[in-house]
Chains A and B, each alone.
Chain A
């Protein structure tokens, strides 16, 4: 089975641009997560979908960050407009949640975003 796929792997944007990051979760998984990783803040949760329903939209990231789950096998993260402080690695993860037990999250390779 293919793991979590993320595209592009690298993205360079000018300040003010709109960028869209893409994620394909592991086939059959029903939970999907978007994280941002920086050296200073570490891993921060941006969005969390459970069976395509948005469970958490990351609070402080609401205004310029919008994640969508178009179908069970595809998700996008839009940043609009981008700012230099958005430079980070964006990670997508998915899991197969059964009942109330914790399910392991499988992570994609990440998209490294640089905003000039």
Chain B
């Protein structure tokens, strides 16, 4: 089926260190996978962090970046130097942009990131 697997949390990183949260997907019934990272900061609702709809391209936002790799079916989230304000729960998601499935998202389980000052 269609699914997303991501790094199991919590992930604890010291401020200014680098971060990678792994995400791999299975898109057996999705013809045109789109990939997303959503984030939920403490006390706030889930919000889009970045998206990539074309394989081989990179998305970036707030210092985070992720590259859509069709060969390895991966969409890892990376940041060179994290800040305490990056502490949040990050969700990788897979979407289909064709036909009646347009708009439907499959979410990973979420990865809690804790940044230590």
Residues of A within 8 A of B (CB): 3-4, 31, 33, 35, 42-43, 45, 48, 50, 55-56, 91, 93, 95, 97, 100-110
Contacts and interface: CB of A to CB of B under 8 A. Distances in A.
A104 B50 CA distance: 10
Contacts, number: 58
Contacts of B51: 102, 104
A31 B44 CA distance: 22
B108 interface: yes
16 contacts: A42-B110, A43-B107, A48-B103, A55-B100, A56-B104, A91-B45, A97-B102, A100-B97, A102-B95, A102-B97, A102-B102, A103-B103, A106-B47, A107-B38, A107-B45, A108-B45
Interface residues on B, range: 20 to 34
A110 B47 CA distance: 13
A50 B102 CA distance: 9
B45 A110 contact: yes
Interface of B: 34, 38, 44-48, 51, 53, 91, 95, 97-98, 100, 102-110
**Chain A contact surface mostly:** strand
Nearest to A56: B104
Contacts of B106: 45
Contact of B104 (A48, A91, A106): A48
A97 B103 contact: yes
Contacts of A93: 46
B27 to A, nearest CB: 14
A104 B51 CA distance: 9
